[in-house]
Amino acid sequence: MDAGSGPCSSSSVQEAPFSCCPICLDALRDPVTTPCGHNFCLSCIATHRHRHPQGGVSGAGGQSPSRCPLCQEPFPADLQLRKNHTLAELLQLRQPAPSSPGLAMAPPEEAPEPRALPGSPAQPGSAQEEEEVLCDFCTGEERARAAQSCLVCLASFCAPHLQPHLRSPAFQGHRLAPPLRHIEESLCKLHLQPLEFFCRPDRCCLCQLCKAQEHRGHDVVAVEVEREHLEAQRPNILSNIENQLDELGVAIAQTRRTVDLIKGTAQKEKEKVGKLFVETANVLATFQKEVFGFIEDGERTMLCGAEEELRQKEEKRALLTECRQNLEKVSSTDTISFLQEFQALKIAAEEKNFPCTSFPKELSFIKSSQAVSAVKEMLVNICKTQWDQLSGKGDEGPVLYGIPEVIMEPHISEKSSNPACSESRDYFLKFAFIIDLDSDTADKFLQLFGTKGAKRVLNPIAYPDCSTRFINCEQVLGKNLMNRGNYYWEVEIIDGWVSIGVITEDFNPQESYDRGRLGRNEKSCCLQWNGQNYVAWFGGFDCIIQQPFFHTIGVYLEYSEKVLSFYGVKDTKMTCLQQFKVARFKKGHFDPFQNKINHQFPSLFMYNLKPAFFLESVDAHMQLGPLKKDCVSVLKRR
């Protein structure tokens, strides 16, 4: 209970039972009335509802209802209790005259000036005067200007309505302040009590309850004392702030110039880059036009002879058909007509045929897609490398992308650069590598004969499930790993289409058919026999090899040199069919297949390699060739 406001006497309770708060037993301050009709101080009932939340059945909004402290009558927990202004005015009229005549006769303007709180608005007439605060108790269209605000009543009063606070002892405990527009900001949000103290360690304003509870033992002073302390420091602080403002003004001007420079430079750079991209797009558009023109010229040239031959043959067929029909229509008794029609048919049949046009075995324009694909891959690699350089991920120094290779030294023959190309079979047998087929990798449409033979079948074989087994391609691997030195093995192609090559150990056997086949990805390469000629495959690029068929294919892997060679074996003679190795282009010549080899083939040798076999046709049949018994090495490598 505040000083000067004691408990209500029994006589006063009997005369005006509604004038005392049942909780604090003091005169009602800011009286509120609950739905059950009982009156309480606004701060008392708010504190009671905060400290004693009621349980039970939840009301609207999922909150438990509150109860009246006297009759326990429930009322909604979210009910906002507002000040009963009628009761407040009635209480002011019923209050007895103050015992101190000096206080009763003191005019409003001579009343002691209330203490101002930190953060309260400046006094009227100051440079910081805010919009005037109006009295909360004035009625009508014109409300008087407030003279003071009460932190207990949470209301502002003009001079006439302020008289009860100045005359009645019941309001002696109320705290008056200069007119405040937002009075609730001067109350503790936890206890709804006036903020009268300042905690220096925590740098916050406190009420009486906060001081006694959460901030007990802290360095706490009255708000007026803290303001005097801060007022003494204000000149130095303002001086420092002025210096900082000057320094910040200079720094802001410099930073603004830097920002303008960055924006201008970035805009110019974007314009340059935009022009370069337009020029690049024009180059690609020109190249596209040239490639389409090349295809169309080849199509037009080859179609000219083919269409003329087609027309001649169709005309001769129509003539023969007409002569035959005429002969069939001749009556058996009309000998003259028979002889004439038969002679016409014979002449038409003996007429010299139109010479067949000699078409090339390979259309001249089918390599266009590979050339464009090579250009695309080069652009992708260039863009990735340049982006790594821009982002700081790439190595320092210039980067060559393969394009300068077109104008480098003349092409060096693989046979002359690799001594093994000129050797006999006995030379390779020194590196003989015994291979066993791995049944755990064989596709279900491959039948294995021991560890040396494999044949493609029509009915699937019930192999046990295994994570290393191919499921989309009719392929099988060797058990043996290759990661150092040189290796040589031979394969017999008995029938059908067979591909022979190598693959990385980490290759996923569950890849789709298009990506899982040997040579159609960047993790394998092979030599394929397709029934007519040999084709080398790597990374989806192919190279046709014009060589006769060899039943025995020798494979020579030089792991350290990053070279893979395929040979046609006949007796002791070795014919080099294809070498996979990095090589320079001939001057003025660009080979998309070799470009693919130059850029991605060396990456195969970052992994352990395995021999791999792909039986493509339904009649495919292969056998690991029996090497001579007098080989220098016939043991499996470690």
> Do 553 and 424 reside in the same domain of the chain?
yes
pLDDT of 58 > 50? The answer is no
pLDDT one-digit tens code per residue, 441-465: 999 999 999 999 999 999 999 999 9
Residue finishing a domain among 366, 386, 419: 366
pLDDT at 377: 84
> Do 454 and 596 reside in the same domain of the chain?
yes
DSSP 115: P
pLDDT of 520 > 90? The answer is yes
The pair of structure tokens assigned to 265 is 């430079």
Give the Å distances, CA to CA, from 439 to 130, 436, 506, 512.
92, 9, 17, 20
Which residues constitute the domain of residue 293?
A: 252-366
pLDDT of 123 > 50? The answer is no
17 part of a folded domain: no
Do the Cβ atoms of 534 and 578 come closer than 8 Å? yes
- Alpha-carbon gap, residue 317 to 320, rounded angstroms: 5
Helix spans in 519-566 (H): none
Query: Which of the given ranges, 127-131, 351-355, 358-362, 493-497, has the highest pLDDT on average?
Result: 493-497
> Do 469 and 538 reside in the same domain of the chain?
yes
Going by C-alpha positions, the residue among 89, 99, 87 that lies closest to residue 172 is 99
Instruction: Provide the phi-psi class of 537: left if phi over 0, else alpha when psi is between -120 and 50, else beta.
Output: beta
Q: How confident is the model at residue 507 (pLDDT cuts 50, 70, 90)?
A: very high
Residue finishing a domain among 366, 397, 417: 366
pLDDT of 43 > 60? The answer is yes
> Do 546 and 606 reside in the same domain of the chain?
yes
Going by C-alpha positions, the residue among 495, 600, 503 that lies closest to residue 555 is 503
> Do 474 and 548 reside in the same domain of the chain?
yes
- SS3 letters for 562-619? CEEEEEEEECCEEEEEEEECCCCCCCCCCCHHHHHHHHHHHHHHHCCEEEEEEECCCC
pLDDT of 631 > 80? The answer is no
- Average pLDDT of span 536-551: 92
**Coil, helix or strand at residue 226:** helix
Choice among 350-359, 368-377, 432-441, 499-508 with the minimum mean pLDDT = 350-359
pLDDT of 97 > 50? The answer is no
> Do 319 and 432 reside in the same domain of the chain?
no
- Alpha-carbon gap, residue 158 to 343, rounded angstroms: 138
- H or E element at residue 347: helix 335-350
273 part of a folded domain: yes
384 part of a folded domain: no
pLDDT at 85: 81
Residue finishing a domain among 366, 394, 428: 366
DSSP assignment of 236-269 equals HHHHHHHHHHHHHHHHHHHHHHHHHHHHHHHHHH
pLDDT of 150 > 50? The answer is yes
pLDDT at 170: 83
Do the Cβ atoms of 173 and 199 come closer than 8 Å? no
Choice among 76-80, 91-95, 123-127 with the minimum mean pLDDT = 123-127
Give the Å distances, CA to CA, from 328 to 331, 338, 345.
8, 9, 11
180 part of a folded domain: no
496 part of a folded domain: yes
pLDDT of 625 > 50? The answer is yes
pLDDT at 134: 87
DSSP assignment of 172-215 equals TTPPEES--S-GGGGB-TTT--B--EEETTTTEEE-HHHHHTTT
Q: How many domains does the chain have?
A: 2
Give the Å distances, CA to CA, from 53 to 58, 76, 486, 601.
12, 12, 86, 77
Residue type, 503: I
| Length of the chain in terms of residues written | 638
12 part of a folded domain: no
> Do 435 and 344 reside in the same domain of the chain?
no
Return the CA Rg of the chain: 52
- Alpha-carbon gap, residue 527 to 111, rounded angstroms: 111
Answer with the residue of higher pLDDT: 366 or 55: 366
- Average pLDDT of span 486-515: 93
pLDDT one-digit tens code per residue, 227-255: 888 888 889 999 999 889 989 998 999 99
Answer with the residue of higher pLDDT: 197 or 628: 197
> Do 613 and 491 reside in the same domain of the chain?
yes
pLDDT of 604 > 90? The answer is yes
Choice among 186-200, 487-501, 556-570 with the minimum mean pLDDT = 186-200
> Do 338 and 481 reside in the same domain of the chain?
no
pLDDT at 588: 61
> Do 305 and 448 reside in the same domain of the chain?
no
- H or E element at residue 301: helix 223-329
634 part of a folded domain: no
Q: How confident is the model at residue 358 (pLDDT cuts 50, 70, 90)?
A: low
pLDDT at 524: 95
CATH of the domain at 551: 2.60.120.920
> Do 413 and 501 reside in the same domain of the chain?
yes
Q: Give the torsion sign (CA, 370, 372, 373, 378).
A: positive
In degrees, to the nearest 5, what angle opens at C-alpha 380 toward C-alphas 379 and 385?
100
Residue corresponding to tokens 């003071």 = 148
- Alpha-carbon gap, residue 620 to 622, rounded angstroms: 7
pLDDT at 350: 83
244 part of a folded domain: no
Choice among 370-379, 414-423, 583-592 with the minimum mean pLDDT = 414-423
pLDDT at 362: 52
Q: How confident is the model at residue 587 (pLDDT cuts 50, 70, 90)?
A: low
pLDDT at 373: 83
pLDDT at 223: 86
Enumerate residues 6+ apart whose C-beta is below 8 A from 25: 1, 7, 8
- Average pLDDT of span 382-388: 84
The distance from CA 443 to its chain's CA centroid, rounded to whole angstroms, is: 37
In degrees, to the nearest 5, what angle opens at C-alpha 381 toward C-alphas 536 and 399?
110
Enumerate residues 6+ apart whose C-beta is below 8 A from 140: none
Query: Given strand 197-199, what is the order of strands in its sheet?
Result: 204-206, 197-199, 220-222
> Do 527 and 415 reside in the same domain of the chain?
yes
- Alpha-carbon gap, residue 121 to 180, rounded angstroms: 7
Q: Determine what percent of the chain is predicted with pLDDT higher than 90.
A: 32
- Average pLDDT of span 308-335: 88
Residue corresponding to tokens 């080859």 = 302
Count other Cβ atoms within 10 Å, centred on residue 612.
23
Choice among 24-33, 301-310, 584-593 with the minimum mean pLDDT = 584-593
- Average pLDDT of span 112-127: 44
The distance from CA 126 to its chain's CA centroid, rounded to whole angstroms, is: 58
